[in-house]
Amino acid sequence: MSPDTSKFIDAYGGTTDSILCFHAPGRVNLIGEYTDFNGGPVFPCAIDRGNTLYVRRTTDATIEFISEHFADRRSLQGAELEQKQGNDSWVNYPLGVINEFAKLGHSLHGLQLYYTGNVPSGAGLSSSASIEVLTAFALNQLFELGIAKVDLAVLAQRAENNFVGVQCGIMDQFAVAMAEEDYAIALQCDTLEYRQVPLKLGQYKIIISNTNQQRGLAEIAYNERVSECNTALAALEPATGAAQLASITPEQLAGNLHLLTDPVIRNRASHVISETNRVYQAVTALTVNDLKTFGQLMNDSHASLRDLFEVSSDPLDSLVKHANAIPGVAGSRMTGAGFGGCTVSLVHSDAVEKFKATVGKLYFEETGLHADFYETGAANGVQQLPL
């Protein structure tokens, strides 16, 4: 019996006979930030950190939630399952998924859920999407609902939009659901067309650097960016005919800047449209093994997120600055929603140890914060595991 299975038994009692185990990864976005809800392209991969769910059906109407990492154990039934559990409760992520199933006519009850994992919360590595997709996939299997993984990803996104209240795009949930080992996903978010691109990095490694900065009001700021992008699209749509901000070309933007009288809105649109092109260029560069170009596009992405979209932070900028000063670093950028969280860097294998030591030292001297470093490959998406 695994240690986590033992913890499940300690919490809920009984035997292991009817327990099932599922795993969902976190994700890192290599490039393409804030393009997903604007109908643009993204280029994420799953990481080798994730969340695991142990689940068992019961004969009563109660759903019980336990997380190894949070103290607020919940036991809910009936109308309680439709109620948000306070803005800061982790339970809202699985509960939102259960609510979306209910909207489809699937009344799910009689469950014991035990979550564990090693994706740091609030780090921009999609710990929330991991829990959402994990819950959706597990319940789909457990109740034999026959819903395809793509549709489970969309359901999980709706849970975050409608129940949690974050107006995220589809990228995080899609990556967690559909990822394949050793591949990144080139996803067009407005159509959900995608292709698996071999993540051939040669002697380079993906290094995630965690600022360990508290993200504060990141969810509020995220929703503000969604609103600002919608404002930009509303101003540009009559002249361009565009249904999505990301479908506007740089030439169309340049010819219609006079329609964006607010410089903040102009900057938001400029980031989304330029970032869209960077994703296409980055996928092409990786396909032909041009990691120098890929790295420069990462750097350009960070500068745009910092200066035009204003979602970086001093700790993120510090990590990127010190990373790019290390010989052997092809590129570095913030990843995820920003306001703290993580950077992603492409680092030559010969430089990895120097990268961790030097960047960590200089970052602490500049910010007073200790960074954590995770080396990762591209992992598989959500799946059932044997006990």
Tell me the pLDDT tens digit for each residue of 34-66: 999 999 999 999 999 999 999 999 999 999 999
Regarding whether 215 and 133 lie in a shared domain, the answer is no
Regarding whether 299 and 237 lie in a shared domain, the answer is yes
Task: Tell me the CATH number at 62.
Answer: 3.30.230.10
Regarding whether 156 and 267 lie in a shared domain, the answer is no
Residue 172 appears among annotated catalytic residues:
yes
Give the Cβ contact number of residue 18 at 10 Å. Answer: 11
Regarding whether 243 and 189 lie in a shared domain, the answer is no
Residue 252 sits in which domain range? 204-376
Regarding whether 111 and 239 lie in a shared domain, the answer is no
SS3 335: strand
Phi then psi dihedrals of residue 361, to 5 deg: -65, -50
Confidence of residue 387 (pLDDT cuts 50, 70, 90): confident
pLDDT above 80 for 215: no
Element (H, E) at 343: strand 342-348
pLDDT above 90 for 324: yes
Regarding whether 282 and 255 lie in a shared domain, the answer is yes
pLDDT above 70 for 216: no
Confidence of residue 73 (pLDDT cuts 50, 70, 90): confident
Max Cα distance, the chain (Å): 68
Regarding whether 233 and 132 lie in a shared domain, the answer is no
pLDDT above 60 for 178: yes
Average pLDDT in the chain = 95
Regarding whether 178 and 324 lie in a shared domain, the answer is no
Q: What is the pLDDT of residue 274?
A: 99
SS3 170: coil
Regarding whether 194 and 60 lie in a shared domain, the answer is yes
What amino acid occupies position 79? A
Here the tokens at position 374 are 């995770």
Q: What is the pLDDT of residue 1?
A: 63
Residue 119 is given by DSSP the state: P
How many domains, in total, are found in the chain? 2
- Catalytic, out of 172, 190, 300, 317: 172
Tell me the pLDDT tens digit for each residue of 272-317: 999 999 999 999 999 999 999 999 999 999 999 999 999 999 999 9
Here the tokens at position 322 are 């010190």
Regarding whether 349 and 222 lie in a shared domain, the answer is yes
Q: What is the pLDDT of residue 114?
A: 97
Q: What is the pLDDT of residue 246?
A: 98
Task: Tell me the CATH number at 347.
Answer: 3.30.70.890
**CA-wise closest residue to 235 among 265, 260, 205:** 260
Regarding whether 19 and 123 lie in a shared domain, the answer is yes
pLDDT above 60 for 217: no
pTM of the model: 0.93
Regarding whether 265 and 371 lie in a shared domain, the answer is yes
pLDDT above 90 for 83: no
